[in-house]
């Protein structure tokens, strides 16, 4: 088997020595080419090259969720074709690793490498669905390029938090759970639309859902992890179905306390709920419109401000070695 290993040297939980050990372990089982990323978007470029190659069977992403997202967008630049395109394998090296953990992989990169080698020996793989975003026709965002996401996306409050975290990391701060909690508080204090939401969710054959402050889109569950604690916004979300949405129409102090507590105590059976929460399951397509530009995030990457985004759930989009 010929494989391309895409290595993010800035991955937060792997040292250079540890990465060398993982590379040697993988190279013992396959013909491996390892490439270290040098700029933002490099992993996407490498994924695209692998998709256009005739002799790459698998791409291994060694890094966090951002690296995985880039590789996936490169592999699927011309659309999904799981029977023809290289398979994807993941060795988690980030701070949270939601996609890898949602697939059932160990969070430790050494253990995950062992699990990957076992999967290859036993020919274990699955085909998963993904989410796709695109600019909405007839809006000022219609020319925004399509982009895939593997586990979640968000418009509004949670994307604002992601943007704040990215700013802190660019200033040299380490990505920690305490950093995220501080930015949640700062985003809440600075949120101008927390009592009167600007987002409308439109979907075919149903009445619009209006006045949302935040819309959290899930392609799988859990939504994310706080340390070892899984947090569920849409517990029914799955790689085998369409996409799910949790919308909140109020983020007052009392509402944040209530939904925050529900999120911390959420489970595979129940996520946040209540008078100002709406949960939608297994959707194929919908659009989020906002009266004011709001931040958008996908797989933990801040993508700037949007006023309209169309989401599509694409079943059987990607072959994953697990």
**Model confidence over 54-108: pLDDT tens digits?**
999 999 999 999 999 999 999 999 999 999 999 999 999 988 999 999 999 999 9
From the list 201, 166, 204, 219, the residue with the least C-alpha distance to 277 is 201
Give CA 91 to chain center in angstroms.
Answer: 15
Position 95 scores a pLDDT of 85
Q: Rounded distance, CA 136 to CA 201, Å? A: 13
Kindly report, residue by residue over 230-283, the tens digit of the pLDDT. 999 999 999 999 999 999 998 888 888 899 899 989 999 999 999 999 999 999
* Overall average pLDDT of the 216-243 stretch: 95
| pLDDT range class, residue 18, cuts 50, 70, 90 | confident
pTM: 0.92
Give CA 188 to chain center in angstroms.
Answer: 22
- Report the DSSP pairing between strands 2-7 and 31-36: parallel
What 3 state SS string does the chain have? CEEEEEECCCCCCCCHHHHHHHHHHHHCCCEEEEEECCCCCHHHHHHHHHHHCCCCCEEEEEECHHHHHHHHHHHCCCCCCCCCCCEEEEEECCCCCHHHHHCCCCCCHHHHHHHHHHHHHCCCEEEEEEEEEEECCCCCCCCCCCEEECCEEEEEHHHHHHHHHHHHHHCCCCCCHHHHHHHHHHHHHHCCCCCCCCEEEECCCCCCEEEECEEEEECCCCCEEECCEEECCCCCCCCCCCEEEEEECCCCHHHHHHHHHHHHCCECCECCCCCCEEEEEEECEEEEEEEEEEEEEECCEEEEEEEEEEEEEEEEEEEEEC
> Which of 33-37, 71-75, 146-150, 254-258 shows the lowest mean pLDDT across its residues?
254-258
Q: Rounded distance, CA 12 to CA 120, Å? A: 26
What angle do the packed helices 109-121 and 16-27 form, to 10 degrees?
10
Judge whether 243 and 131 are in contact, CB under 8 Å. Answer: yes
């Amino acid at each position: 088997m010929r494989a391309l290993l895409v290595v993010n040297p800035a991955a937060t939980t792997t040292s250079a020595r540890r990465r060398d050990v993982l590379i040697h372990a993988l190279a013992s089982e396959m013909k491996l080419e390892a490439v270290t990323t040098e700029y933002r978007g490099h992993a996407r470029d490498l994924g695209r090259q692998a998709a256009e190659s005739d002799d790459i069977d698998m791409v291994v992403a060694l890094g966090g969720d951002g690296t995985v997202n880039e590789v996936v967008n490169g592999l699927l630049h011309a659309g999904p074709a799981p029977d023809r395109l290289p398979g994807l394998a993941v060795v988690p090296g980030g701070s949270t690793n939601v996609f890898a953990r949602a697939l059932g992989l160990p969070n430790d990169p050494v253990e995950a490498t062992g699990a990957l080698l076992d999967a290859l020996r036993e020919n274990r793989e699955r085909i998963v669905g993904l989410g796709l975003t695109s600019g909405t026709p007839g809006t000022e965002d219609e020319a925004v390029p399509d982009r895939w996401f593997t586990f979640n996306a968000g418009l509004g409050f949670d994307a604002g938090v992601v943007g704040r975290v990215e700013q802190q990391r660019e200033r040299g701060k380490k990505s920690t759970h305490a950093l995220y909690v501080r930015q949640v508080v700062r985003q809440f204090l600075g949120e101008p639309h927390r009592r009167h939401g600007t987002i409308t969710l439109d979907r075919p054959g149903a009445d619009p859902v209006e006045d949302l402050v935040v819309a959290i889109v899930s392609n799988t569950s859990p939504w994310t992890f706080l340390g070892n604690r899984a947090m569920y916004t849409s517990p029914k979300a799955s790689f085998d179905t369409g996409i799910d949405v949790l919308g909140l129409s109020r983020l007052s102090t009392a509402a944040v306390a209530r939904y925050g507590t529900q999120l911390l105590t959420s489970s595979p059976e129940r996520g946040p709920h209540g008078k100002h929460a709406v949960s939608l399951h297994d959707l194929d397509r919908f659009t989020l419109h906002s009266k004011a530009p709001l931040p958008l995030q996908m797989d933990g990457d801040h993508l700037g401000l949007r006023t309209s985004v169309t989401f599509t759930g694409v079943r059987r989009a990607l072959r994953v070695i697990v």
